[in-house]
Amino acid sequence: MPRSANAQPKRPSGTKKRIYQRAGNEPAFDLKSELYRIAGVDLTDVPGLSTLTAHTIIMEIGPDVSRFRNASAFGSWLGLCPEKKVSGGKVLHSQTRHVKNRAAIALRLGAQCLYHANNHLGEFYRKAKWRLGAPAAVTATAHKLARIVYHLLSTKQPYTEEVFQRADIASRTRAENRLRQQAAALGFYLAPATGTTL
């Protein structure tokens, strides 16, 4: 049968591999499908973003992010971008603005949930925590989540880990090229390990 003009878009199956069980504070109706109808994309596919987190974000900012110039402007509005204090061309210190925004709080809570996650965002959070400490790691990961949310809402494209996998490969390639250049400058040749030990 042809689909009627008033038919609602059907939410595609998610990319998260998990057994979903409704939390006690979630509404009894299908909130995920309703959020997909409003936003045009499933934010709960993003690791760390639960149905209630996605609901908070959509209720705070709406499905249209065109009023923000780019993802950086969106992160700054949320208070998740570090602002640098500069004097005489020298950066004195850098810290995020104190912004009371429920969407930012929801993203921070989502970032905290990624500590044990076996994916790119979980690895990002753990590395940031090791380098910067837990509070700064939460902010940095929340900022990354905000950029992902902006991309999904602005392009209406579904979330996929393949983007991060390609970025990781490109990052490793750049690091390898830098090492080869440094070795060549010192008169050495960099070769891959053969698996043998000295």
Q: What is the pLDDT of residues 120-150, one digit of tens each?
A: 899 999 999 999 899 999 999 999 999 999 9
DSSP one-letter code for 97: -
Cα distances from 86 to residues 96, 97, 99, 132, in angstroms, run: 14, 15, 21, 21
pTM of the predicted model, to two decimals? 0.70
What is the per-residue pLDDT across 45-69, written as a single tens digit (0 to 9) for each? 999 999 999 999 999 999 999 999 9
Q: Which two tokens stand for residue 54?
A: 């996605």
How many angstroms separate the CA atoms of 115 and 81, rounded?
A: 21
